[in-house]
Amino acid sequence: MIKGTTKLLGVIGHPVEHSLSPAMHNAAISQLGVDFVYLPFPVKPGDLKAALAGFAAIGVRGFSITIPHKQAILPLLSEVSPIARAIGAVNTVYLTDKGWCGTNTDVEGFLAPLQTPPTPPYQGGAKDATSGLESGNMAVKSGPPPYQGGARGGSDWSQKVAVILGNGGAARAVVAGCAQLGCAEIHVVGRNEQNLAEFQQSWVNSPMPMQNLPVHTWDNLSRLISQADLLVNTTPVGMYPQGEKSPVAPDVIDQISAGAIVYDLIYTPNPTQFLKDAKIRGARAIDGLEMLVQQGAAALKIWLDKESVPVDVMRQALRQHLGLD
């Protein structure tokens, strides 16, 4: 029940009507019994600075950010975490004595399904591992051990090869996550050579510099997939309403090794054609729903200053909203 004392959280974007965040966050808030509500706020690009001032004036405690504000908000914040600067985007903002501060929880969300979960309900196993990224130290590997089975080469990520499809903003979070896992090789595949070169160069002077980040055009994909222990799609190809499409042709996905992990950041349709094709060939499939849940859970912990939130409730709310149950 919303009262005069109810504290405000929300998500900003343009458009924002499609956001699934209110469903999962309000489900968790209700379960916790805290006096908060999470609302969608449509904010046009030209109104971003005014929206921040308005939020501060009415006491908004924090908010999520979606397209088109993830990069534009950076110069408007008092403080930006190293991981957000490395990714070049903010998805979570919270209020402190210093003003609005931004971070990015997409790395934590990406990592969660790749790491061994604790006893259910799953409370976000990647939290401690991501703390190394937040401090700007890529070598830090605290937290739970990585995923123990499925990919080739046992449980040691230092022996594994990651191949990332796409070189946009989502790919940056995946690169940072693969670096945190300690992958032996991280390859990025894109269609435009200039964009790939700029993507590669952007990591040289990053707060989390990459010593070696080979980039490739799409015609090298077949060879790379045959080497991949982890194959991640960060492109929008295959997203609703074009769910019959896949970023990888059937004759190319044929090269995937049985037991490799194939991960699609898309969560609708569920599963995507890309994941269907991979599972038929013996790969372990991970869809984008868990990443969505876990990045949201990480943000909610920040806003509510809690060690854990009911991730299972958030997940179930999304599954019901998407008609998956």
H helix intervals, 135-192:
169-181
DSSP string, 137-150: -TT---SSPB--SS
Active-site annotation holder among 3, 44, 49, 70: 70
> Do strands 92-96 and 7-13 pair parallel, antiparallel, or not at all (unpaired)?
unpaired
Measured in degrees and rounded to the nearest 5, phi and psi for residue 120 equal: -60, 150
289-325: b or e for each residue (b if 16 or more CB lie within 10 Å)?
bbbbbbbbbbbbbbbbeeeebbbbbbbbbbeeebeee
**Cα dihedral value 133, 136, 142, 148, nearest 10:** 40
How far apart, in whole angstroms, are the C-alpha atoms of residue 309 and residue 248?
36
Indicate the angle between helix axes 289-304 and 311-321, nearest 10 degrees: 130
Q: Which two tokens stand for residue 231?
A: 């194959």
In the annotation, is 49 catalytic? no
What residues contact residue 174 under an 8 Å CB cut-off, 6+ apart? 110, 164, 232, 234, 265
Q: Which two tokens stand for residue 136?
A: 């700007």
User: Hey, which residues are catalytic here?
Assistant: 70
